[in-house]
A = this chain, B = another copy of it.
Amino acid sequence: MVTPKKTAPGGKPAPGAKAAQGAKAAPAAGRRAELLATAAEVFAELGYNATTVRTIADRAGMLAGSLYYHFDSKESMADEILSAFLTDLWTGYQRIEEAELGPRETFEGLVTESFRQMERHRPAVVIYQKEARRLASQERFRYLSDSQERFQQLWTRTLERGVADGSFRSRLDVPVAYRFVRDTVWVAAVWFRPWGRKSAAEIAEQYTSMVLDGIATHPVAR
């Protein structure tokens, strides 16, 4: 009865938002999804501020004003893109948390899941990487800070468990290591353009190995 706007996600990402996604690229999922994908690409490429609503529209083959039939504002596009990504991400992380693995396996699981989501939501990850801090100051994007905090707790706990049980180096500075890992993982989204040949799992394995074991050779155990 009313226009389709404002279907945008509200606050925190709630798992299970999207129902039937059967095929590869949803065929009947509608213009909306296509437009969001387009917007996400442009945001990722040019940055949120530098992206004009007209650029998105051009890329989508319509006029700038027409976007407003589907979305409330440029901001709400970013909102939808980011919250869809975070919803999926946390759904994945939760599965790992619930598996109650050892620290090293949890570590590997989280990295792998991150890369898997990066594969699905690459532009969203880039946007998140670049804009989250700025956006998070707005009430509407509160969930970004919330997610950030949850993220920190999850990783910190994992690292601490690893230090405790001897999986990780005993002298590890956990807060620094947390940031190290966090940045290390997400920053990859920026240059992982066409990771055609390697699967997310392979890339994840490479990363995990570098982070856990370092890139140097180790003549003796420490």
Contacts and interface: CB of A to CB of B under 8 A. Distances in A.
Interface string A198-219: 0000000011001111111111
> Quick one: copies of this chain in the complex?
4
A25 interface: no
A183 B104 CA distance: 23
A138 interface: no
Contacts of A190: 183
Residue from A181, A210, A214, A219 whose CB has the most chain B CB atoms within 10 Å:
A214
A210 B168 CA distance: 11
A220 interface: yes
A58 interface: yes
Nearest to A213: B214
A101 interface: no
A173 interface: yes
B183 A216 contact: no
Interface string A17-49: 000000000000000000000000000001101
A163 to B, nearest CB: 9
A187 B183 contact: yes
A218 to B, nearest CB: 5
Contacts of A180: 184, 207, 210, 215
Contact of A179 (B168, B188, B211): B188
B216 A104 contact: yes
A164 interface: no
A220 to B, nearest CB: 6
A111 to B, nearest CB: 12
A63 interface: yes
A177 interface: yes
Nearest to A179: B191
Given A1-B63, A184-B183, A218 B210 contact: no
A64 B63 CA distance: 19
A99 interface: no
8 contacts: A104-B216, A130-B130, A169-B216, A172-B215, A173-B206, A183-B183, A210-B211, A213-B213
What are the 4 A-B residue pairs with the smallest beta carbon separation, nearest first? A214-B214, A49-B49, A212-B216, A213-B214
